[in-house]
Amino acid sequence: AGTYYDAGTDTMVVNVTSRSGLAAVRAAGVRPRLVDFNTRQLTRVTDALTARASIPGTAWAIDPRGNEVDVTADRTVSRAELARLRAVTNRFAKRTALDRTSGRLQPTIAGGQAIYGGGSRCSLGFNVRSGSTYYFLTAGHCTNIAYYWYANSSQTTYLGYRAGSSFPGNDYGIVRYNSSVSKPGTVYLYNGSYQDITSAANAYVGEYVRRSGSTTGLRGGSVQALNATVNYAQGSVYGLIKTNVCAEGGDSGGSLFDGTYAIGLTSGGSGNCSSGGTTYFQPVKEALSAYGVSVY
In whole angstroms, give the CA distance from residue 51 to residue 49.
5
In whole angstroms, give the CA distance from residue 71 to residue 68.
9
Q: Which of 123, 171, 212, 251 is catalytic?
A: 171
Residues 21 and 52 in one domain: no
Q: Which of 214, 252, 255, 270 is catalytic?
A: 252
Give DSSP secondary structure letters for 34-91: E-S--HHHHHHHHHHHHHH---TTEEEEEETTTTEEEEEE-TTS-HHHHHHHHHHHGG
H or E segment and range at residue 19: helix 19-27
Q: Which of 123, 141, 166, 214 is catalytic?
A: 141
CATH code at position 165: 2.40.10.10
Is 277 a domain residue? no
Residues 23 and 75 in one domain: no
pLDDT string in tens for the chain (296-residue length):
899 999 999 999 999 999 999 999 999 999 999 999 999 999 999 999 999 999 999 999 999 999 999 999 999 999 999 999 999 999 999 999 999 999 999 987 666 899 999 999 999 999 999 999 999 999 999 999 999 999 999 999 999 999 999 999 999 999 999 978 899 999 999 999 999 999 999 999 999 999 999 999 999 999 999 999 999 999 999 999 999 999 999 999 999 999 999 999 999 999 999 999 999 999 999 999 999 999 99
- Whether 166 is a known active-site residue: answer no
Contact in structure between 75 and 102 (CB atoms under 8 Å): yes
Residues 64 and 29 in one domain: no
| Residues contacting residue 132 through CB under 8 Å, at least 6 positions apart | none
Q: What is the dihedral of CA 283, 289, 291, 293, to 10 degrees?
A: 100
Closest CA to 209 of 160, 170, 255, 165: 255
**pLDDT at residue 9, rounded to an integer:** 94
In whole angstroms, give the CA distance from residue 217 to residue 107.
17
- Whether 252 is a known active-site residue: answer yes
Domain range enclosing 20:
3-34
| Residues contacting residue 58 through CB under 8 Å, at least 6 positions apart | 49, 71, 72, 73, 74, 77, 85, 105, 231
pTM over cut 0.75: yes
Residue type, 281: F
Give the Å distances, CA to CA, from 214 to 41, 111, 122: 40, 8, 7
* Total domain count, the chain: 3
Is 84 a domain residue? yes
